[in-house]
Each structure stands twice: as structure tokens, then as C-alpha cells.
């Protein structure tokens, strides 16, 4: 086979990125915009040793899952990769994608399971029940957020729309089928205002021009709309005229902000945001909880499905009102506040300071006084907190990390803290599978996995997984135990962390931390608290536990007859 050969291919499978896979003779080809059941005439565009890429020229026989294209730009705009696939087939594809990643990356046997049956994970801890992906009734106009690039096309005309797949050429598009219909109207108002007042769009090559992107957000329950212009500069003339026009033309227009981003590159938002009109944020409600949303804050883009997703997370958490919970990667506190209604205490941590301000404000707005939020990296804040509070029992930990998943240090700390359940919300099932595998190494089993379709028409899928502390013993080892050697009274003795620390201070003259003690106790098999499962990884040595400290702690443990 050579490049530019014309071949006939029957597509039999899909990649996780939504490309069709079929064979030309015995040679596998990846062909964009095709799906299983299609037979296409394709041109070979690229060849590797064992596979190649093709472009469909003609559909000779259409898959039963193929539906007419609704958006004329679908193939050029990189956004909706599987728009021509029937929605039910999209959901099947997403369920399979999650199953495949759990199997391929996590090494689990991921079994499609009817949620009504709710079978446990059976006798084999590697078997994970995956429920069918929950879809939307109307999988269009579901996004509450758009970040629309502005520029000039080859003819020099002012355009806004979307970047073409894998490039920065802007395809003119004001009316996207995924965003609220009024967004097109807002973009036309902004464009007209730019033309009327000679305001230039940003040009990537020359780094000249002012308006880079327009960020739009809408509260689906409140109807409030936020408009934020992202500028390559600090000054915006005629902002009052834009404000007047938006007020006059856009129902629900609530606030206008400017964000300053003078750096080249792909990052959309810069560090500084200024209010021009209104409060600088909008509000929305999710399942009755009110949220304040600023331009920088992360807020799930599909509010209808978010209620379902976080509803599942809450259900998986199984709260009774008595629990203490950590919500890692908490953003503006969405999951935290869902949990706060049903838990005794909720701690949240998030890296973006503005989001934590919003989280605190959201807790206040909703009258929750049982939440506490921390700014910082989950992998730093959680271990430090645990070091300070080694005896405080944490019942549930929820995590909702970005695509790259959880930091290892964060997973290790979860393993040390041994909550009853971990609820993992993920936007990338590949890193989810990796992290679930790691958590099973700390004595957890994956009870169930529920994919939820937050991003209809695209290949992305959101997933919520429940892990619980492993109850079943899979293997056991026979040990001979001579009662005469055992000092049963000593085994009952327990010194507190304070006593151990003070004893070391007196006898060795240095300070050890609670985490030092906890880790050394764990190392020699002392239970930290009842039912504490030991992490299986042996490399969990605290960086602060020097040989000297460890020996002092061991001496103290011997002195108090704990070992």
C-alpha cells in the first residue's frame, strides 16, 4: 500500500478519539468521520509500519448508526467529533470507552451491568461493574460556557468562531448547536461594536490587536449571563457603548468584565480580571444549591448532567449525617456543598484562590456552617492536614481532578487516611483507570462505575466511581504464634501521640511530627486506629522521617510496650 492509494474499507471499530477503524486487505486504517458499519471509499493519507490513516471520500454503505449531520461546520470545527452518530450509539461508545480504559490501563475486568440489578462486584475484586452511560433527553444547546476566539480571516474580515481541528485558523461560526441560542446574538453585538469603534481583534502572528477571546457564561436556572472580553492590553475604549448595547439587546445580561492576557501562547485567561458593569459574577443553582460563578472559576459546563453526575456522587458517598468528608479539587465547592447538606463536616481544597473565595461565599450564601476550605495543591494540603490531625477520622473522600488525574502523593495520603469510601469523579477515564488501580493497592475495591454524558456529540465522557475499603480477604497466610512469647498486657498499652512526642523530646532532644509517628507505627504493623488497613506499597516513607527519628520513635514504641 502507498500514500494516495484509493481503497474500500468496512469500518468495524472506533478509537477512543472517535475515529473509525477498518482494514484494507489485512492492513488497519484509521478513518476520521466514519463509524462501525460504514463501508467507505477512502484515500490513504499517511502510512506507518503496521497501520495507516485514511480520509473518507464516499460512503458506499452507511452504518445503521449514521444520522444526518446537523451542523454544517461539524467536520471542519474540531468540536463535535461524533455528531453524525445516532445519540444512543454515542452513549454505547462512551460506556465502552470507559470499560476499555479500565481494562487496558487499570487491568480490571470491567463488566457492563444493569444498574437495577446492582450486583456487587462478585467474588473477584478485579471485576468492576460499569453501568450504561446516562445520556440527555435533548443533547443540544447544553453548554453554559463558550470561549470564542476573535481574529481576521484571509480576506481580512473580522471573524469569530472556533479553531479548525488541530489548527488556529478561525472558522466563522456564531451559532453553535451546543451553546445557548442567545450566544450568537451576543457575538454579533460584540462584532458590530468592534467594527463601529475600530477595535481590533488580536492577531497571533504579529501579536497586535486587542480582543483575543470573548468568554460567555449563563446560569441555566437563573438565566443570568456573563460577558468577559479577554484583551491583549489593559485599556478598552468605548466599553460603555458595548455595555449599553448588551443591556438593550440581551435578556439576562448581568455583568461585563475584562480579563487581561498579554502573553503569547494558548492559555486563554490571564491572571487579572476587572469588572466593567455588574457584580463581576453570575449566580446559578444546582439541585437547589446556589452558586456564584466568576470568569476564572471552574464550573461544570453542562448543568443538567452535572445535577445527575453529582447526584450520583452523593448517592455513592452514602452519607447519614454523621460523616466527616474531604472534597479534593473542589473548585467553587459544588460537590462540597452537595455533601454538606448530608454530612457532619466537609473540608475542601482547590488550587485557584478565586474559586476558594467563591466556595466560601457559596457556603455562606446557602447557610452552611459545617464547611472549611483551603487554597493549595491537594497533594500538599491533605498530607499537611493529616500530619496535624492524625487521629481525626475521615469517613469519605471525594476527588474531582483535572484530566491528568490525581498526584501520587495525594493518592498515597488517601491510602494512609483510609476513609471508608472514596468517590472519584473523572473527566478522563484513562487517568481514572490508572488512579483506581493505585487505590486498590491501598486496600480498596472498586464497587461500581457510572459514566455520565456531559459532552454530547463529542468523544469526551465524565465518570463517577465508588471505591470502598476492602472487606474480603483474598489470600491468607498461616502464621505460627507462640503464646508464651506474647505479652498480652503490653499489647493493650497505648500511648498517645503527645506522650510519644514528649518522651522523644525528653530522651533524644528533638521533635518528631505526628506523621513521622504514624508512618513508623504503620511500618511496624501497629494499628493507627481500629480497622486501619495498611497501604500495600512499601515505599511510603515520609520524606521527613530520618533514620534517627525512626529509631527514636521505635524506642518510644518499645518503651510504651506498643511493639
Active site residues: 427
In whole angstroms, the minimum distance from the beta carbon of 87 to ligand SAH comes to: 25
User: What cell does 321 get?
Assistant: 449525617
Q: What is the dihedral of CA 75, 81, 84, 89, to 10 degrees?
A: 170
**Helix (H), strand (E) at residue 258:** strand 253-260
Classify residue 541 as exposed, middle or buried by CB count within 10 Å of its CB (0-12, 13-18, 19+): exposed
Residue 148 or 335: which CB sits closer to ligand SAH? 335
Q: How many residues does the chain have?
A: 563
Residue 129 or 451: which CB sits closer to ligand SAH? 451
In whole angstroms, the minimum distance from the beta carbon of 377 to ligand SAH comes to: 4
Euclidean distance between CA atoms 361 and 382, whole angstroms: 22
Residue 101 or 294: which CB sits closer to ligand SAH? 294
* Site for ligand SAH, rule CB under 6 A: 298-300, 329-332, 334-335, 349-352, 355, 377-379, 400-402
In whole angstroms, the minimum distance from the beta carbon of 311 to ligand SAH comes to: 13
In whole angstroms, the minimum distance from the beta carbon of 144 to ligand SAH comes to: 12
**Helix (H), strand (E) at residue 26:** none
Residue 330 or 553: which CB sits closer to ligand SAH? 330
Euclidean distance between CA atoms 46 and 53, whole angstroms: 5
In whole angstroms, the minimum distance from the beta carbon of 307 to ligand SAH comes to: 12
Sorted by sequence, the CB contacts under 8 Å of residue 279 that are 6+ apart come out as: 254, 255
Beta carbons of 374 and 347 less than 8 angstroms apart: yes
Q: Which residue has the cell 489470600?
A: 475
Sorted by sequence, the CB contacts under 8 Å of residue 162 that are 6+ apart come out as: 73, 77, 78, 79, 148, 149, 170, 171, 173, 176
Beta carbons of 535 and 415 less than 8 angstroms apart: yes
In whole angstroms, the minimum distance from the beta carbon of 415 to ligand SAH comes to: 17
Residue 351 or 526: which CB sits closer to ligand SAH? 351
Residue 52 or 383: which CB sits closer to ligand SAH? 383
Residue 14 or 339: which CB sits closer to ligand SAH? 339
**Helix (H), strand (E) at residue 488:** helix 488-492
Nearest to 281 by CA among 227, 331, 235, 360: 227
Sorted by sequence, the CB contacts under 8 Å of residue 65 that are 6+ apart come out as: 35, 36, 37, 85, 86, 89
Residue 214 or 335: which CB sits closer to ligand SAH? 335
Give residue 312's Cα distance to chain centre. Answer: 15
Sheet of 170-172: strand order equals 170-172, 158-163, 145-152, 211-218, 225-231, 253-260, 272-277
In whole angstroms, the minimum distance from the beta carbon of 327 to ligand SAH comes to: 7
Neighbours of 185 (CB within 10 A): 15
In whole angstroms, the minimum distance from the beta carbon of 13 to ligand SAH comes to: 31
Q: Which residue has the cell 465518570?
A: 463
Amino acid at each position: 500500500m502507498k500514500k494516495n492509494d484509493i481503497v474500500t474499507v468496512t469500518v468495524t471499530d472506533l478509537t477512543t478519539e472517535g475515529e473509525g477503524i477498518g482494514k484494507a486487505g489485512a492492513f488497519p486504517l484509521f478513518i476520521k468521520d466514519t463509524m462501525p458499519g460504514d463501508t467507505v471509499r477512502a484515500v490513504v493519507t499517511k502510512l506507518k509500519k503496521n497501520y495507516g490513516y485514511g480520509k473518507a471520500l464516499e460512503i458506499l454503505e452507511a452504518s445503521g448508526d449514521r444520522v444526518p449531520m446537523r451542523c454544517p461546520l461539524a467536520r471542519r470545527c474540531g468540536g463535535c467529533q461524533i455528531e453524525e452518530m445516532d445519540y444512543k450509539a454515542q452513549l454505547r461508545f462512551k460506556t465502552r470507552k470507559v470499560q476499555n480504559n479500565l481494562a487496558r490501563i487499570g487491568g480490571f475486568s470491567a463488566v457492563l451491568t444493569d444498574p437495577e440489578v446492582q450486583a456487587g462486584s462478585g467474588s473477584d475484586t478485579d471485576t468492576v461493574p460499569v453501568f450504561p452511560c446516562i445520556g440527555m433527553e435533548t443533547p443540544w444547546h447544553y453548554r453554559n460556557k463558550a470561549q470564542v476566539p476573535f481574529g481576521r480571516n484571509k480576506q481580512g474580515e473580522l471573524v469569530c468562531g472556533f479553531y479548525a481541528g488541530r489548527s488556529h485558523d478561525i472558522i466563522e461560526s456564531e451559532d453553535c448547536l451546543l451553546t445557548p441560542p442567545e450566544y450568537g446574538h451576543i457575538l454579533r453585538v460584540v462584532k458590530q461594536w468592534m467594527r463601529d469603534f475600530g477595535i481590533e481583534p488580536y492577531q497571533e502572528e504579529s501579536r497586535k490587536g486587542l480582543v483575543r477571546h470573548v468568554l460567555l457564561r449563563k446560569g441555566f436556572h437563573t438565566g443570568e449571563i456573563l460577558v468577559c472580553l479577554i484583551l491583549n492590553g489593559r485599556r478598552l475604549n468605548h466599553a460603555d457603548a458595548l455595555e449599553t448595547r448588551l443591556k438593550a439587546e440581551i435578556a439576562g445580561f448581568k455583568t461585563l468584565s475584562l480579563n487581561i492576557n498579554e502573553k503569547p501562547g494558548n492559555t486563554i485567561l490571564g491572571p487579572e480580571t476587572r469588572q466593567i458593569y455588574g457584580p463581576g459574577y453570575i449566580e446559578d443553582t444546582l439541585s437547589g444549591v446556589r452558586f456564584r460563578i466568576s470568569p476564572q472559576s471552574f464550573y461544570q459546563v453542562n448543568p443538567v448532567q452535572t445535577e445527575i453526575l453529582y447526584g450520583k456522587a452523593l448517592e455513592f458517598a452514602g452519607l447519614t449525617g454523621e460523616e466527616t468528608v474531604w472534597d479534593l479539587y473542589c473548585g467553587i465547592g459544588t460537590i462540597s456543598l452537595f455533601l454538606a447538606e448530608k454530612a457532619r463536616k466537609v473540608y475542601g481544597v482547590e488550587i485557584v484562590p478565586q474559586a476558594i473565595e467563591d466556595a466560601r461565599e457559596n457556603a455562606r450564601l446557602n447557610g452552611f456552617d459545617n464547611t472549611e476550605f483551603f487554597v493549595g495543591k491537594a497533594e500538599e494540603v491533605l498530607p499537611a492536614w493529616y500530619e496535624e490531625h492524625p487521629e481525626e477520622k475521615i469517613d469519605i473522600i471525594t476527588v474531582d481532578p483535572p484530566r491528568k488525574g490525581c498526584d501520587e502523593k495525594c493518592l498515597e495520603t488517601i491510602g494512609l487516611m483510609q476513609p471508608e469510601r472514596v468517590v472519584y469523579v473523572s473527566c478522563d477515564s484513562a487517568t481514572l483507570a490508572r488512579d483506581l488501580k493505585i487505590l486498590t493497592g491501598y486496600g480498596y475495591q472498586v464497587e461500581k462505575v457510572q459514566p455520565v454524558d456531559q459532552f454530547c456529540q463529542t468523544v469526551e465522557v465524565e465518570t463517577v466511581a465508588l471505591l470502598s475499603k476492602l472487606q474480603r480477604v483474598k489470600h491468607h497466610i498461616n502464621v505460627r504464634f507462640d503464646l508464651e512469647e506474647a505479652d498480652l498486657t503490653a499489647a493493650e498499652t497505648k500511648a498517645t501521640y503527645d506522650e510519644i512526642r514528649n518522651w522523644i523530646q525528653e530522651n533524644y532532644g528533638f521533635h518528631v511530627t505526628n506523621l513521622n509517628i504514624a508512618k513508623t507505627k504503620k511500618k511496624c504493623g501497629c494499628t493507627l486506629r481500629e480497622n486501619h488497613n495498611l497501604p500495600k506499597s512499601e515505599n511510603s516513607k515520609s520524606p521527613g522521617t530520618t533514620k534517627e527519628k525512626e529509631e527514636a520513635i521505635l524506642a518510644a514504641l518499645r518503651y510504651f510496650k506498643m511493639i
